[in-house]
Amino acid sequence: MRQKRSKQYKRLMALYSTSFGFREPYQILVDGNFLYMALRYKMNICDQLCNVMLGKTKQMYTSCTLKEVRKQGKDWEETEMELQKFEQRRCEHRKKAVTSAECLSSIIEQDNPHNYCIATQNELLRESFRNVPGVPLLYINRSVLIVEPPSRATLEIVKKVEFEKTLAPRNEIKFLKKINSDTIIKGENEIIKKKRKSKGFKRPNPLSCKKKKAKPLPSFLTSQNNKNNNNNEDKISNKRKYEGEFNNEIKDSINNKETEIHSNKRKRKRKKTKAE
């Protein structure tokens, strides 16, 4: 296999695995006409399939395909024998067999749910499968095994899957829908404000700075202060003196009253004795 083609197939299989979930061993439904052609060119089909698919493969056939091969006569005996070496895939046509093309179409359905690859020389069948996204198609062209490039339907799904990968996960979308849109906007505004604040001028850490030494005051200010202090002290002492004088006056008045009372008593006693 040429390098250019192997690179193409590598990209192709990566596309099928990432967008459609194809995994090894790749399941290949083999049509009778495909195997007949491979034997005609004496191809080791199992090895060639592994080379082309860049991984392990599992070749399969249906009972309908086998019955169709048997109908072909002696020329196809070898094909019948080789086909039976593969794994049989059950189909829905046990009671009444259909053509191989119809049988394969019923398995692939609308979206190839079991991720099968189809190997067939039937051009019409391949054309119908091109409308189904995610179906790798193989055929033999002059003793060379070919994997068809992805169909338009396949590429459309690939684009869709890639676009969905860029979106937020479904759980996150549900969560965001639950939250009120106003609160989200408020939250965003707060975040913006915080960011703006942080961008402002940064002051140095005060703990890391040295303390400024206090400058000595000029002499005239200090003298004034002393004067003020002295005035205050004088005011306090005057106040105390005044309070002391006031107290002495009260005491004197009380003493004077007491002496008046005593003198009055003595006068009354003298009057009483004169009267007797």
Binding site for Zn ion (CB under 5 A): 62, 64, 91, 93, 103
Nearer to Zn ion, 16 or 61 (CB): 61
Decide whether 29 or 158 has the Cβ nearer to Zn ion.
Answer: 29
Min dist. Cβ of residue 98 to Zn ion (A)? 6
- The minimum distance between CB 137 and Zn ion, in angstroms, equals 19
Q: Which is nearer to Zn ion, 30 or 145 (CB)?
A: 30
| CB of 52 vs Zn ion, minimal distance in Å | 26
- Of 93 and 157, the one with the shorter C-beta distance to Zn ion is 93
State the nearest-atom distance from the C-beta of 121 to Zn ion, in Å: 18
Q: What is the 3-state secondary structure (H, E, C) of the chain?
A: CCHHHHHHHHHHHHHHHHHHCCCCCEEEEECHHHHHHHHHCCCCHHHHHHHHHCCCEEEEEEHHHHHHHHCCCHHHHHHHHHHCCCEEECCCCCCCCCCHHHHHHHHHCCCCCCCEEEECCCHHHHHHHCCCCCCCEEEEECCEEEECCCCHHHHHHHHHHHHHHHCCCHHHHHHHHHCCHHHHHHHHHHHHHHHHHHHCCCCCCHHHCCCCCCCCCCHHHHHHHHHHHHHHHHHHHHHHHHHHHHHHHHHHHHHHHHHHHHHHHHHHHHHHHHHC
